[in-house]
Structure 1
Amino acid sequence: MTQHKIVVAGCGAMSNAWVDYAVNRENAEIVGLVDLFEESAKKMADRRGMNVPTFTDLSQALAETDANLVFDVTIPASHKQIVTTAMLAGCNVFGEKPMAESIADAEEIVRISNETGKRYAVMQNRRFLKQIRTLRDFIGTGVIGTVGSIHADFFLGPHFGGFRDAMESPLIIDMAIHTFDQARFITGADPVSVYCHEYNPPGSWYAGNASAVCIFEMSGGTVFTYNGSWCAEGMNTSWEADWRVTGSVGTAKWDGASDPSAEVVDESKPREFTSGLKKVEAPAKWEGREGHSGCLDEMFEALEQGRPAETDCLDNIKSVAMVFGAVESARTGKKVML
C-alpha cells in the first residue's frame, strides 16, 4: 500500500478538516507543518499532539523531511508558489480552491505539472454531494433528452467581515468557482465564452461588486446562465444554488437541498397546445462520502491508481478560466472567449 508522507502548508482554521482527514487515513502520515507564522504551526502540532517539525519555509520542510505529498491550505495568493515549489521538489499536491489567483498562474501550474509528471488536485467539495451526483447521473441517462441549457440561481446574504468585504469581485472570485465547476460537472460540458455583468446593489455591505449575471456558451451548444448575489437579504437559496436543466423532452430541477426530479413529455398522452407531462424521480445510487472527505477520497484513490483526479489541475483550470473570464468580461463589457 502506498504510504503518503504529508507536509501541511498553512495552519489556519481551514486546515483543520485536512489534518483531521490525514490523521484518520491508514496510509497517511503528517511529517511536517509549515506556516508563515511558525507559532501557528507549533500551536497546531500541540493541539493535535503531533510530534512533527515546524517550518516557515516549504523548501526547507521538504528538504528536511521525506514528504511525497503537500497539502496546500494557504491563501489564494500563495498557491502558485506553494504548488510549484512542491512539484519541482518531487511532491504531489492537494490544495484548496481556487487553484491559482490568476489564469496566468493557473496555466504556469499546469505547465509545471505536465513537465514534472506531478499531480495537483484541487478541493471542489461541492461536487461530492449525493444529490448533485444523482442529478448528474440522472441527466446522463437521457431522461430529459439532449441538454440545451442549465441555469443556476444563487442568492445569499452572508456577513463575513474581513477580506471578502474589501474584494473587488467577492462573489465571482471567492464563491462562483463552486457553481461554475458544478455546472461543468452536471452537464459534462466545458466553457467556450462568457458575457458577465457585475453590480453592487443598494444595501450591499461589500466594497466590490457582490452580484453578477453571467451567460456562458458551453461545448456542444449548451448555454449556462448564472444569476447570483452575496448581499441578498431574504428568500435565500441554498449554498448549492437552485438549478434548472432543460432538455429536448423535459426539465430537471434541484434546489440544492432536496432530491432532484424531472418532468418529461408523456408520450402516452395526446399532443395539445402544451404537452402532457409526467414526473420522474431521480434514483440515488452514489454511495461515496460527501464534502471534503469525498473529494479527498477521490484525490488519494487517483494518486494510488496513477491517474489524474476528477479535480486535477488539468481539468480544474477550465473552471478557473470561467471565473477570470467572467471578471474580464465585466471589466470590459464584452464577451470573452475561453
Structure 2
Amino acid sequence: MRIVQVGLGGFGRDWAEHVIPLVPEVEVVATADLLEASRLQAIDAGLTTADRCFATVEEAIETTDADAVLVTASLVGHVPAARAALQAGRHVLIEKPFAPSVAEAKELIALAAARGLVVAVSQNYRFFPAPRAVAALVAEQTYGPLHAVGIDFRQFSGADGIASPHHALAEPLLVDMSIHHFDLIRFVLDREISGVDVRTWDPDWSMFTGPSEGCGLIECGDDLTVSYRGSWVSRGPRTTWSGEWRMDFADAEVWWTSRGDGPEGWRADEVRVRRAGRVRKLELDTGPRTDRAGSLTEFVTAIEQGRQPQTSGRDNLGSLATTYAAVESARTRRQVSVADWL
C-alpha cells in the first residue's frame, strides 16, 4: 500500500524511524508537513527526501497517487489533513485523539462512508498480548462474571527538570493519556462506557500547565463501575503505560499490566490469576506485530479484506466521547453521561 505520511514533528519522525519500517506491506511514497522546520529536520535525519516532501497533503497525493494517508500530526492538524485525504478518495489512519471534538470526528466518518473509504484511529494499546488475553477471559467468562475493575496509572514526567511540549497541554492526563485507558476499558470489557464522574488537579510544584492527576468512577452500565486513578507526577513505583489493572471475577482475581518502555514494550506484558489462594502467571501470545505497528497492520489488512478495522473511526467515537465527557465532568465536578456527547 502506497501511503503519504502527514506530520513530521518529533512524534511523526518517531513513526517514520521506528514504526513504519516494521510494516513492509506499506511504502511511504511522500511526506508532508506545513512547517518548513519539521520538513527540514526529517530530511536531515534521512527519513524523507526533498523531492517527496511537501507542505500540504494535497500536493503529496496529487504528485504520488498514494492509496492512503497516515496522519501523525498534532491534534490541531488531524481533521484538516484527514478531510483533504478523504476528499481526494484516500483511506486514512489517524493518531489519537481522533479529533478535537466528537462533531468533527462524525464529519470525517460520514465523509468516509459516503465515499466508501476507511478512516481508522491508531489506538495502539489494544495491540498488545496482555489486553488481548484478558479480553478473551472476559468474553469466554473463564472465571465467571466480572463484577469489579480497578486501574492505577503512575508516572513521573519531568523528573529530570526538563519541560517538554507535553507539559504545556491543556489536558495532559485525560486527553493525552487516559484516552488510552478508556479505550482499553471498552476493548477488554467489550462494553460501552455510559457515564463518568471524574476529578482532576495539578500540584503547584509540577511542571504541567493543565491537570496532571485525577481519579474517578467510570460506569459501564448499571452493573459494573471501574475505579480509575491516573497521575503524571506520582513518586510511587512507575506502572507500565497501560497501568495496573485488577479485575474481580466470581471465581478469581486477574491482575495485568501492559506496554513497557521502548520498541519491545510487549516484554512487560503480564497477566496473573489468583484463584483458590494460588497465583498463576498466564502464557501470552505476543503475535507478529504489537503497538503502533499492530494498528498500522490492522489498517492495511482491513482495507485488503474489504472490512472495517477493529479501531475504525466509528468504533472510536465511544473512546473519544468518553474522554471529552471526562474533561467536562472534571470541569463541572459532576457526573456526565457519555451518551450526551455522542
Output the TM-score relative to the length of structure 2.
0.87
Q: Report the alpha carbon displacement of residue 162 of structure 1 after superposing the two structures with TM.
A: 2.9
State the partner residue of 2:264.
none
State the partner residue of 1:82.
81
Q: Report the alpha carbon displacement of residue 99 of structure 1 after superposing the two structures with TM.
A: 0.7
Residue type at the aligned position of 1:31: V
CA distance 1:64–1:221, shift in 2 (3 Å): same
User: How many Å separate the matches in 2 of 1:41 and 1:130?
Assistant: 35
Residue type at the aligned position of 2:39: A
Q: Report the alpha carbon displacement of residue 334 of structure 1 after superposing the two structures with TM.
A: 1.9
Residue type at the aligned position of 1:239: W
Say whether the 8 Å CA contact 1:148–1:247 is kept in structure 2.
Answer: yes
2:271 to 236, 260, 265: 260
Residue type at the aligned position of 1:156: Q
Q: Percent identity?
A: 28
Q: Report the alpha carbon displacement of residue 326 of structure 1 after superposing the two structures with TM.
A: 0.2
Q: Which string of whole-angstrom CA distances, capped at 9 and with x for unpartnered residues, describes residues 97-117 of structure 1?
A: 111122222222222222222
Q: Report the alpha carbon displacement of residue 288 of structure 1 after superposing the two structures with TM.
A: 3.0
State the partner residue of 2:13.
16
State the partner residue of 1:299.
299
Residue type at the aligned position of 1:97: K
CA distance 1:214–1:106, shift in 2 (3 Å): farther
Q: Which string of whole-angstrom CA distances, capped at 9 and with x for unpartnered residues, describes residues 163-216 of structure 1?
A: 332233211111111111111121111111111111123532212211111211
Q: Secondary structure of the equivalent of 2:147?
A: strand
CA distance 1:320–1:283, shift in 2 (3 Å): same
Say whether the 8 Å CA contact 2:23–2:297 is kept in structure 1.
Answer: no
CA distance 1:14–1:96, shift in 2 (3 Å): same
Q: Report the alpha carbon displacement of residue 87 of structure 1 after superposing the two structures with TM.
A: 0.8
CA distance 1:254–1:42, shift in 2 (3 Å): same
User: How many Å separate the matches in 1 of 2:54 and 2:287?
Assistant: 39
Residue type at the aligned position of 1:128: F
Structure 1 stretch displaced more, 195-204 or 206-215: 195-204
Say whether the 8 Å CA contact 1:196–1:213 is kept in structure 2.
Answer: yes
- 2:153 is the counterpart of 1:148: no
1:242 to 241, 244, 250: 244
CA distance 1:12–1:333, shift in 2 (3 Å): same
Say whether the 8 Å CA contact 2:20–2:293 is kept in structure 1.
Answer: no
Residue type at the aligned position of 2:337: M
User: How many Å separate the matches in 2 of 1:42 and 1:137?
Assistant: 46
User: How many Å separate the matches in 2 of 1:197 and 1:113?
Assistant: 36
User: How many Å separate the matches in 2 of 1:48 and 1:168?
Assistant: 30
Residue type at the aligned position of 1:132: P
Q: Report the alpha carbon displacement of residue 60 of structure 1 after superposing the two structures with TM.
A: 2.5
User: How many Å separate the matches in 1 of 2:25 and 2:249?
Assistant: 44
Structure 1 stretch displaced more, 313-322 or 35-44: 35-44
User: How many Å separate the matches in 2 of 1:126 and 1:166?
Assistant: 24
Say whether the 8 Å CA contact 1:196–1:326 is kept in structure 2.
Answer: yes
How many correspondences in the alignment?
Answer: 324
CA distance 1:8–1:246, shift in 2 (3 Å): same
User: How many Å separate the matches in 1 of 2:80 and 2:137?
Assistant: 40
Q: Secondary structure of the equivalent of 1:225?
A: strand
User: How many Å separate the matches in 2 of 1:166 and 1:38?
Assistant: 23
State the partner residue of 1:287.
287
User: How many Å separate the matches in 1 of 2:76 and 2:333?
Assistant: 26
Residue type at the aligned position of 2:171: S
User: How many Å separate the matches in 2 of 1:25 and 1:249?
Assistant: 40
User: How many Å separate the matches in 2 of 1:171 and 1:302?
Assistant: 31
| 1:115-126 aligned within 5 A | 115-126=114-125
Say whether the 8 Å CA contact 1:134–1:284 is kept in structure 2.
Answer: yes
Alpha-carbon RMSD? 2.2
Structure 1 stretch displaced more, 299-308 or 143-152: 143-152
Output the TM-score relative to the length of structure 1.
0.88
Say whether the 8 Å CA contact 1:134–1:283 is kept in structure 2.
Answer: no
State the partner residue of 2:113.
114
| 1:317-336 aligned within 5 A | 317-336=317-336
CA distance 1:278–1:287, shift in 2 (3 Å): same
State the partner residue of 1:229.
231
* Bigger CA radius of gyration: 1
Any gaps of 5 or more consecutive residues in structure 1?
267-276
Say whether the 8 Å CA contact 1:38–1:55 is kept in structure 2.
Answer: no
User: How many Å separate the matches in 1 of 2:113 and 2:200?
Assistant: 35
CA distance 1:305–1:45, shift in 2 (3 Å): farther
Residue type at the aligned position of 2:145: T
| 1:121-136 aligned within 5 A | 121-136=120-135
Q: Which string of whole-angstrom CA distances, capped at 9 and with x for unpartnered residues, describes residues 56-90 of structure 1?
A: 12222222321120010100011011111111110
Any gaps of 5 or more consecutive residues in structure 2?
259-267
Say whether the 8 Å CA contact 1:22–1:28 is kept in structure 2.
Answer: yes
User: How many Å separate the matches in 2 of 1:87 and 1:80?
Assistant: 10
CA distance 1:27–1:202, shift in 2 (3 Å): closer
CA distance 1:89–1:282, shift in 2 (3 Å): same
1:190 to 189, 192, 202: 192
State the partner residue of 1:314.
314
